[in-house]
């Protein structure tokens, strides 16, 4: 049996351990500085404070961040469980402490825009940081695909993809986590997998605008689906272009589309998109959602920055990304919702 140390024990960082615990592996949960209450609550009750579910049965141990060295001792796998907001903390605080030749699996979905407008995945950013520190042989891998934390903890059948550089490592990781309810494909297309699933965070906000617009128009919580479908279709069109710009393989697109679907129906991004769709400003919506982790804000901003740089270089045209640029106007430009429906029209002669 393996020892798996999770660094960052929020909702998804913890939920992914359910199948591994069910397979009999030892799980060590380490809280980030923001997870102190989660770890204290887990020690007292063996329940997850924010998932609001009991931890799985098995050999489980709980550590505060000051106990990281003890929690990593003898671990076969380190699991990065932080959100996009914790990426810099992980790069600056955790990677310097990771032993050489460790295997890391990250659940953090996202990408970073470079100065020229190109985009790289979080595992690549982690690799670069480790190399800059003189670390040797650390094998960074990641998880992509449509999966919400609470439904994984409820054992709802789930399909994901593990990506990394080495097929033999990926097959070993699959052996740790695969369960009847947790099904795992494998890919060495790291950037394609990670960029596909990162993009859904930005576009789920865009699709959710239609929900809030419907609420406002009807004067009650009533959803129309023509408008959601129109935004969903435009989101997929723009995601397809962006995946190509990231040099990802087109076969990874279903991962992003599936993740887009589940996020629109059940994610935190739905909340911010719905509020913006009612006509609220971004600041007003964020005041209501104070304390909620919204990776969609990080990803939509970074993606828009990259696209605007590519527009300046003449590599893409603004009219290819009307939905993304409108999302950016809402989040960073002080605008209120005014979906550019006519910009979605096409002539394919």
CATH 3.40.50.720-classified regions of the chain: 3-188
The predicted structure's pLDDT at residue 89: 96
Strands 111-113 and 119-121, how do they pair? antiparallel
The predicted structure's pLDDT at residue 14: 97
The predicted structure's pLDDT at residue 64: 98
| pTM, to two decimals | 0.90
The CATH architecture that domain 198-344 belongs to is Orthogonal Bundle (1.10)
The predicted structure's pLDDT at residue 292: 74
The predicted structure's pLDDT at residue 112: 86
Strands 77-80 and 3-7, how do they pair? parallel
> Which parts of the chain register pLDDT below 70?
267
Strands 103-106 and 77-80, how do they pair? parallel
CATH 1.10.1040.10-classified regions of the chain: 198-344
The predicted structure's pLDDT at residue 266: 75
Tokens (6 digits) for 186: 């494998």
Question: Distance from CA of residue 329 to its chain's centroid?
Answer: 22
For residue 104, what is the enclosing H or E element?
Answer: strand 103-106
CA dihedral 35, 38, 43, 44 (to 10 degrees): 140
CATH of the structural domain 3-188, one choice from 3.40.640.10, 3.40.50.1100, 3.40.50.720, 3.40.50.880: 3.40.50.720
The predicted structure's pLDDT at residue 287: 92
Q: Which of 87, 141, 107, 125 is nearest to 259 (CA)?
A: 107
């Amino acid at each position: 049996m393996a020892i798996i140390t999770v660094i960052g024990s929020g909702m998804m960082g913890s939920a992914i351990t359910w199948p591994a615990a069910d397979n009999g592996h030892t799980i060590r949960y380490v809280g980030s500085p923001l997870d102190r209450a989660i770890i204290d609550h887990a020690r007292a009750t063996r329940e997850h404070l924010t998932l609001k579910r009991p931890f799985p049965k098995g050999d489980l141990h709980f550590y505060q961040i000051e106990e990281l060295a003890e929690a990593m001792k003898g671990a076969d796998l380190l699991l990065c469980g932080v959100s996009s907001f914790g990426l810099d903390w992980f790069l600056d605080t955790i990677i310097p402490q990771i032993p050489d030749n460790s295997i890391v699996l990250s659940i953090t979905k996202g990408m970073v825009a470079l100065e020229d407008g190109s985009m790289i995945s979080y595992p690549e950013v982690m690799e670069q940081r480790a190399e800059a520190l003189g670390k040797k042989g650390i094998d960074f891998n990641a998880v992509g695909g449509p999966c919400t934390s609470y439904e994984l903890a409820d054992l709802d059948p789930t399909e994901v993809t593990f990506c990394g550089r080495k097929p033999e490592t990926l097959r070993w990781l699959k052996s740790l986590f695969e369960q009847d309810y947790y099904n795992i494909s494998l890919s060495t297309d790291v950037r394609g997998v990670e960029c596909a699933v990162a993009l859904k965070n930005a576009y789920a906000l865009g699709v959710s605008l239609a929900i809030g617009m419907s609420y406002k128009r009807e004067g009650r919580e009533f959803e129309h689906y023509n408008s959601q479908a129109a935004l969903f279709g435009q989101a997929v069109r723009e995601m397809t272009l962006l995946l190509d710009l990231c040099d990802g393989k087109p076969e990874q697109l279903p991962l992003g589309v599936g993740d887009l679907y589940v996020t629109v129906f059940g994610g935190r991004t739905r909340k911010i998109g719905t509020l913006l769709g009612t006509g609220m400003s971004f600041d007003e919506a964020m005041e209501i959602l104070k304390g909620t982790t919204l990776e969609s804000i990080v990803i939509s901003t970074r993606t828009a920055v990259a696209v605007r740089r590519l527009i300046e270089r003449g590599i893409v045209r603004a009219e290819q990304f009307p939905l993304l640029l409108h999302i950016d106007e809402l989040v960073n430009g002080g605008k209120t919702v005014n979906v550019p429906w006519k910009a979605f029209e096409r002539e394919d002669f």
